[in-house]
Amino acid sequence: MDRGFAIFVVLSLMAMCFPSSLAMAQEGQSTNCEILADWDQQWQWSDEGESEISLIHRYRVVFDPPFTNGTSPTDVNTSVQHFRGESEISGENTSTFVAGGEIDIILAENPQFGDLISISSHSTES
C-alpha cells in the first residue's frame, strides 16, 4: 500500500471526525470517543489450497475513559459511507463488532487513492 495514500486517508478521517469526536454521556460525565484507522493483513486460503495476503480495512472506535470490568458500549448505531469520485460505493457490506469496550468496523471494499470514507458511530454512552 502506498504510504502517501495511507497518510491521506488517516488525515481525512481525522479532519472529518474531529468535531464529532467529543460527546457527552447522559450522566453528565464527559466521554470522548475517537475513530482510528487500524489496517492489517491476513492470509486467505483458496479452494485449491493456495494462500495469498489480503488487506483488512478496519477502523476502531475507542473511548476515553475506557470501559472497565468487561463492559462495552450499548445500543451502538454505526453508519459508513464510502465515496469514490462522484459515486457512493456500498457501505452496507461492513462488519461491526462490539467487544472489549471498543467498536471494530471492517470494510469489505478496498479503498483507492482519493476515496473518501465517512464513519459515524453513536452509542448510549457517547
Higher pLDDT residue, 78 or 73? 78
Predicted pLDDT at 90: 66
pLDDT of residue 25: 40
- 8 Å CB contact between 35 and 59: yes
Q: Please compute the mean of the pLDDT values over residues 57-81 and round it to a whole number.
A: 81
Q: What is the mean pLDDT of the chain?
A: 77
Say what the pTM is: 0.61
Confidence of residue 98 (pLDDT cuts 50, 70, 90): confident
Q: What is the DSSP letter of 34?
A: E
Q: How far is CA 93 from the centre of its chain?
A: 13
